[in-house]
Structure 1
């Protein structure tokens, strides 16, 4: 999925930007900030059948308003929330709870992470998806005990079949 941000200051400009972005790729998801003009734009953009990601969300109330205006994805900035109110994970989890409680047709797309622990906590809280930087992605996958285990597999293999061999060599 490709999400692209509109930056206009008024609803009509945001709608025009959404149309222009959509002309480049009909599958693009339009990112719209949760501001009074952004909410108006979401309604207009949604009426044209475009998919929307609401951005710059800092409260569950903003998330609810965005869903009601047509947003399919809600992108709370977890690390920014941590810096402002101290618990971005909890705020994002509340957004997911509201969606689930009221059976709303939307998903929380957690964004702005500084570490793997935030991603892990959101997964436990039932967040639907995340967008993460490459360094956080790498840290999700890398663990020294995994590397140690793989080294053990290779060592055991090479003890039986010879150093530098692999499965293709013995099939």
Structure 2
């Protein structure tokens, strides 16, 4: 499974990149707004740190507007993936861009039917939002299972990018289902390291080592 960081904070991206865990980055207007910086400047800096796909979202709602914004965004770097909404105009934009060799991330997916449409439009990534489905009383992970089955039935090349990840268990369950990618805030990725037995074992080893009076 590929790990993408869902953030626009350069320091967090650099930190994850240093671990070797970072395969890509996803951004959205809300994350860029939190950073307080210029959108294109942030994107350019992220692409310099991360060589994998970096999703940049259009904010227009019509095909012509999306294409105009996509043209500007994909000039930032070769590893930019244009993020478009799962709407008729969004999928029309997806088809045009993907046919031209541009990576496209179709976002705000909440149903298997929507995921099927995105794959047929040539999406590089489909982003189902599992956490937001959980928030309204649905099981978001059921959507991942359904999409995996549909894509495998027809050998679609679109990668399932699990988004709106709220906990380490979302990551684990997605991996068990065969999702291709997950994107999460850095704090969730760091939680994957944590286990009380790891902490207890390390503390015991260090205590025993100190008792030897030795140094390395």
**1:135-163 per-position Cα deviation (integer Å, ceiling 9, x unaligned):** 2112211112111111222233333452x
Which protein is bigger by CA-based radius of gyration?
1
Shift of 1:98: 1.2
RMSD, aligned CA: 1.5
TM-score (norm 2): 0.71
1:33 aligns with: 85
Matched, 1:64 2:116: yes
Matched, 1:136 2:201: no
Q: How does 1:111-126 map to 2 (within 5 A)?
A: 111-126=163-178
Shift of 1:84: 3.3
Q: Which gives a bigger RCO, structure 1 or 2 (Cα 8 Å, sep 6+)?
A: 2
Unaligned runs of 5+ in 2: 1-52
Whole-angstrom CA distance in 1 between matches of 2:188 and 2:71: 33
Q: How does 1:46-85 map to 2 (within 5 A)?
A: 46-84=98-136
Partner secondary structure for residue 112 of structure 1: coil
Q: Which runs of 4+ in 1 moved over 6 A?
A: none
1:8 aligns with: 60
- Count residues in correspondence: 164
Unaligned runs of 5+ in 1: none
